Amino acid sequence: MGYRVSRRSRRPAALWANGQGRSEVVFSEPASDRWVWRLSVAEIATDSRFSVFENVDRLLVPLQDDVRLEMDGTEKTVSRGQVERFRGELDVRAVGVASPRSVLNLMTRRGLVVADLEVVEHAGTLAGDGRELVAYVIDGTARLSARVTLSAGDACRVIGHSAIAVDGVVALARIRPVGRAQHGL
């Protein structure tokens, strides 16, 4: 039981695989280039093509402003806090970017793990249920203990049934290996 913390101030930025943007890895499992799942924050500064990832499922959430995407030739707007799910093989571009914006990006290796991502506004306690749970603070705070408070941009992996006190908006990622019961993600 417990937590692993990722502070925004301590995460290095790296170029996207295609070199058209920058991102910060929040958590990955394992912590290597051969990850099974990875949560990152990507900065979209200009119109750009997303990197292609074969056999990967992606979930994307705009953190401040809406993001316009062109996905295999079809344009759509993804609103702040809305989750957009798509396959890593798709031709995806950010279009109409007038100013930099950030998105939370959860990627999972198809066939190995499945994930769900939701944005919730909450005032109270959230507890882990034994599955992999990652909480990313969008606005407000999350308190892990009397000594550890997370601010916007910080995140934690909740281990076991540990609880966090949230006062604000968080993105919650639930990740589990394929093969467990498909209901109750």
CATH number at residue 151: 2.60.120.10
Q: Which of 83, 109, 135 is the last residue of a domain?
A: 109
Residue 185 has pLDDT above 60, yes or no: no
103 contacts: CB under 8 Å, gap ≥ 6 = 41, 42, 44, 60, 61, 62, 63, 67
At 102, the amino acid letter reads S
Give whole-number Cα distances, 58 to 53, 115, 147, 163, 176, in Å: 9, 9, 34, 27, 15
Query: pLDDT at position 20, please?
Result: 86
As a whole number, mean pLDDT of residues 151-166 equals 89
124 with 99, same domain: the answer is no
Residue 114 has pLDDT above 80, yes or no: yes
As a whole number, mean pLDDT of residues 80-85 equals 96
Model confidence at 180, pLDDT cuts 50, 70, 90, reads: low
39 with 127, same domain: the answer is no
94 with 145, same domain: the answer is no
121 with 105, same domain: the answer is no
Q: Residue 37: which of 129, 138, 137, 115 has the closest Cα?
A: 115
**Number of structural domains found in the chain:** 2
34 with 95, same domain: the answer is yes
pTM given for the model: 0.91
Q: Are 81 and 118 in contact (CB under 8 A)?
A: no
